[in-house]
Amino acid sequence: MVDLKGAAVHSLLQARRHPFQAYEDRGEKLPKLWAKGGRHVFLFDHEDAWRSIKYVRENPVEAGLPKQHWNFVVDYF
């Protein structure tokens, strides 16, 4: 989890897409982007995958946010 978070931050900084990029540009310490720790969820079968997809799709709406669409996300078959 630590390596994944670190690689994501590095990639965001390289692409100049990090939401706190201005801190680094000013030579200040970069605020944490991720919550402490993490949760490992293992998907063992199609049912697990579909349940997780449903959760990801519905969670923003349940939180009162608009439904989200990303052009780089494709359906799971």
Q: Based on the fold, state whether residues 28 and 45 are members of the same structural domain.
A: no
Q: What is the mean pLDDT of residues 7-12?
A: 93
Contacts of 59 (CB under 8 A, 6+ apart): none
Q: Based on the fold, state whether residues 48 and 30 are members of the same structural domain.
A: no
Q: What is the pLDDT of residue 63?
A: 93
Smallest CA-to-CA distance from 77 within 53, 55, 61 is with: 53
Q: What is the pLDDT of residue 53?
A: 87
Into how many domains does the chain fold? Answer: 2
Per-residue pLDDT of 33-70, as tens digits, reads 888 887 888 999 999 999 988 888 899 999 999 988 88
Q: Based on the fold, state whether residues 46 and 71 are members of the same structural domain.
A: yes
Q: What is the mean pLDDT of residues 4-14?
A: 92
List the domain range (segments joined by +) for residue 51. 41-77
Q: Based on the fold, state whether residues 51 and 71 are members of the same structural domain.
A: yes
pLDDT above 80 (res 22):
yes
Contacts of 24 (CB under 8 A, 6+ apart): 13, 18, 30
The per-residue pLDDT of the chain, averaged, comes to 89
Inter-residue long-range contacts of 58-64, CB under 8 Å, 24+ positions, other chains counted:
none
